[in-house]
Structure formats: C-alpha cells, structure tokens
Amino acid sequence: MNKDMLFSSFKLKNFQLQNRIGVAPMTRMSSVKGSIPRQDVFDFLVRRARNGAAVVYTEAIVTDYECAQGYPGQARILKDEQIEAWKPVVESIRNEGSVAIMQIFHCGRMAWPEINPAGSIIAPSPVTPSQNNPMTNEPYPVPEAIGLLEIEHVIEGFIETARGAVAAGFDGIEIHGAHGYLISQFLSSYSNKRTDTYGGTVEKRYRFAHEVIQAVRPIVPDDRLLTFRISNWGVADMEVSLFNSKEEYQEIIRLLSKEPIDAISVSTYMYGDKAFNTDQNMAQITREVTGLPIMICGGIHDRESAEDALKGADIILSAKSLLLNPAWVEDVRTGKSLPLYKSEEANIAYSDTPLP
Ligand SMILES: Cc1cc2nc3c(=O)[nH]c(=O)nc-3n(C[C@H](O)[C@H](O)[C@H](O)COP(=O)(O)O)c2cc1C
C-alpha cells in the first residue's frame, strides 16, 4: 500500500475527497430547544472541516416526533426552522472543501419513557437489550413489536428526514443501520424474533433495511451520496455478536451491495480486532464481498493506525480523536505521537462547555 494513501484524494461517486479522513457521526445531545443543535456544536463541525477532514458526518438525526428518539437533546430536520439552521453549517463545511453528510436514525428499542413522550417504544420483537440504559442505569422497557402499518409509518419518517437534509443542502445522507438501533435490531436474529416476512432468514431480516434504502434513495438526488452504517455490536449489547457468523454478516453485505448506495461505513470498537473467529478484521471481511467504497472506524488515533486501517478500507473515520483534538488531521499529517482516547473521555461531548 502506498504510504501516502491517507492524504491522497479519493473519488466517492462524483465527489473528489481531499484525503481519506472523515469525522464519524457523534451525537452531542445539545438540542434542548426546537430540536436544533447549539451553535457551538455546529461550529465544532465546521472547524473539523477547516482542520482538513474530507468528510464531516453529523450526529444521528431523529426521524420523527414519536418514538425515534434515543437520547435527550437529539436533533430533527423536519421543520423549516430546523432546515434553515443547518443550511449555513452545510455551506461552511463545503466552503472548507469538505463533504457534509447527515446521518438519520430511529432508535427502536433503545428508547425510554422520559425521552419518548408518545409512550410507544417499538422494535422488531418485544425483547430488551442485554445491558441497562447507560443514561439512567435502569433496564430498558420491553418494546412493542412493530406492526406492518407502523413499519410504513416509520419509513415515512426516514423519507421526511431525508427530504429535510436534502433541502438543507447536504451532500449526502447516511442511514444508520448500526449499534443496535432499529435497523440493526431488524438485521440481527438476537433482537429480531419475528416469524413474518420481516424475520427468520437473513434475507427476511434484511427486508426492513432494504425498504428504508429504497424509500430514501429517490429523495436523494443522483449527484448526492447515500451511505449505510453497519456494526456487529450494539451500544447496550456490547458483548453480543449481532451477526451469528462471518457468512451471515457477508450475506448482508452482499445484499447491501445490490442497493443504490454509495458506500458502506463499518463501525468497530477497534478497527484491527479480528472478527467472527477468523484472522481477518471487519474491513477485510467486508471487502471480500463488496466492490462498494468502505469506511472504517474504531480506535484510529494516529498516523500509523490510520494508514494500517486503510489496508482494508478506502476512508477512515474517527470520532473521539476528532472530538477531543481540534488539530487531529494536521497532527496526523505531521506524524505526531497521539493518544488513544478512552470512552469516558468523550463524555465532554454532552456537556455545555463548547469544545475547541
Ligand atoms: C460522543 C459520541 C457520540 C457518538 N454518536 C454517534 C452517532 O450519533 N451515530 C453513530 O453512528 N455513532 C456514534 N458514535 C460512535 C462513533 O461514530 C464511533 O463509531 C466510535 O466512537 C468509535 O470510533 P472512535 O474509536 O474513533 O471514537 C458516537 C461516539 C461518540 C464518542
């Protein structure tokens, strides 16, 4: 592999990226008023673009006003004032030569009553996550199994949110299919116990993801991006392998590869960890069965790890390093010795203190 690949340009559909580095999606829980993030959270994204990140993902944006929200203070893009609030942010990111992508999500069973005023928590099946809610330290409530009509309604939320993101000028949209949220809950036999057309075989468990992608794609103009994020772990199912085997995971990647999407974003704890009892990491396992561009994320913290992670992927994403170090891209470029941050250090993301 070319040693300078990290700072080489990459053609992602019709976008010529200036390098292979992106800001991973990061929920900041700052939208206390009107589902609009605080100004300093917007400014943070623009500064990361200015520091040289070629791709900037937003936090996960909630797809409805009913039961999609998973954390306090999450944002939406369903109303004019929300769209207007994001417009200058997108413009500033683009003026820095970066690509702005909005991630959209439904949390499914990861909701709890306080942040879910509709009192309806939905999931493929009435099964709770294995861990307590990290925000309340309480067990999650048992969700209701989503009905067929509700599935259509939930997909409408993805459509309307994608419409808002397009109106705000985003270069792309990401469907969040990772981390044990609704789409991920459908994909995994661990949370999906359905016996109808949305559960059972891999193909049936994949059906919901397929329908969301097919519904969102026509909303996203052809010259803009649609990406899909996937993981083998969940926020409240840390120890669980969401897919039963390498073969099962690869079957889903194959199905995704037939979709009108422009990249697959693979989220891991540590990009280099061997997966599914093989000697391959998640990026390599993904690469084996797809020709789509791959983004990889998890524990990439310095030049060496970034170059190494690119052996199985086209673009690397960083969350904690870019959150905590405003000069990260430049520091990586100069090969500075940089720390691997711990999860607890990222809690500052949720404070009122503006980040540098
Ligand atoms: C503060 C914070 C918020 C996060 N919010 C999201 C999110 O909204 N959507 C998402 O897909 N991942 C989210 N993640 C996960 C990151 O995108 C990333 O996958 C994970 O932190 C591992 O990457 P890292 O080792 O570079 O931090 C979040 C991570 C952090 C630290």
Q: What is the DSSP string of 284-336?
A: HHHHTT--S-EEEESS--SHHHHHHHTTS-SEEEESHHHHH-TTHHHHHHTT-
- The C-alpha angle with vertex 212 and arms to 210 and 214, in degrees rounded to 5, equals 65
Number of H helices, E strands in the chain: 10, 12
What average pLDDT does this structure show over 23-40? 97
Is 22 near ligand 1, meaning CB less than 6 Å away?
A: no
Which positions ≥6 away from 179 have C-beta within 8 Å? Answer: 229, 231, 233, 234, 235, 267
Please say if the pLDDT value at position 323 is more than 60.
yes
The tokens for 347 are 């809690």
Q: How confident is the model at residue 205 (pLDDT cuts 50, 70, 90)?
A: very high
What tens digit of pLDDT does each residue of 245-274 get?
999 999 999 999 999 999 999 999 999 999
Question: In the beta sheet, which residues pair with residue 104?
Answer: 61, 175
For residue 270, the ligand 1 atom closest to its alpha carbon is 25
Please tell me the predicted confidence (pLDDT) of residue 287: 98
Closest by CA to 216, choosing from 44, 63, 340, is 63
Q: Residue 273: count other Cβ atoms within 10 Å of its Cβ.
A: 12
State the pTM of this model.
0.98
pLDDT band at 184 (very low <50, low <70, confident <90, very high): very high
Condensed to tens digits (0 to 9), the pLDDT of residues 216-229 reads 999 999 999 999 99
Residue 116 is predicted with a pLDDT of: 83
229 CB near ligand 1 (under 6 Å) = yes
Distance 271 CA to ligand 1 centre (A): 13
Confidence of residue 3 (pLDDT cuts 50, 70, 90): low
Query: What's the confidence (pLDDT) of residue 170?
Result: 98
- What integer pLDDT is reported at residue 148 of this predicted model? 97
Of all protein residues, the one whose alpha carbon is nearest to atom 22 of ligand 1 is 298
Q: What is the pLDDT, as a whole number, of residue 118?
A: 84
Among 320, 323, 344, 353, say which to mutate for ligand 1: greatest number of ligand atoms within 8 Å of CB. Answer: 320
Q: Could you give the angle at the alpha carbon of 39 between the alpha carbons of 35 and 40, nearest 5°? A: 120
pLDDT at position 1 over 80: no
User: Between 275 and 113, whose confidence is greater?
Assistant: 275
Say if ligand 1 is within 6 A of residue 180 CB: no
Closest atom of ligand 1 to 60 CA is 8
Rounded mean pLDDT, 284-293: 98
Q: What is the pLDDT of residue 330?
A: 97
349 lines ligand 1 (CB under 6 A): yes
| Minimal-distance CA residue to ligand 1 atom 21 | 319
Mutate which of 267, 270, 318, 321 for ligand 1? The one with the most ligand atoms within 8 Å of its CB, which is: 267
pLDDT computed for residue 45 by the predictor: 98
> Which residues are catalytic, by number?
181
C-beta of residue 198 within 8 angstroms of C-beta of residue 207:
yes
The pLDDT, as a whole number, for residue 2 is 57
| CB-ligand 1 contact for 26 (6 Å cutoff) | yes
Contact residues for 313 (Cβ-Cβ < 8 A; gap 6+): 266, 283, 287, 294, 295, 296
- The residue whose CA is least distant from atom 6 of ligand 1 is 26
**Minimal-distance CA residue to ligand 1 atom 2:** 26
| Cβ of 234 below 6 Å from ligand 1 | no
Mean pLDDT of 161-189: 98
Tell which atom from ligand 1 comes closest to the C-alpha of 320: 27
Residue range 295-316, pLDDT digits in tens: 999 999 999 999 999 999 999 9
The model's pLDDT over 64-83, given as tens digits with 9 standing for 90+, comes to 999 999 999 999 999 999 99
Q: How far is the CA of 321 from the centre of ligand 1 (A)?
A: 11
CA distance 74 to 135: 14
- Mean pLDDT score of the chain: 97
* pLDDT tens digits, one per residue of 78-110: 999 999 999 999 999 999 999 999 999 999 999
Test site for ligand 1: of 21, 23, 27, most ligand atoms within 8 A of the Cβ: 27
β-bridge pairing 10-12 and 15-17: antiparallel
Residue whose tokens read 């085997």: 245
Average pLDDT value for residue range 145-155: 97
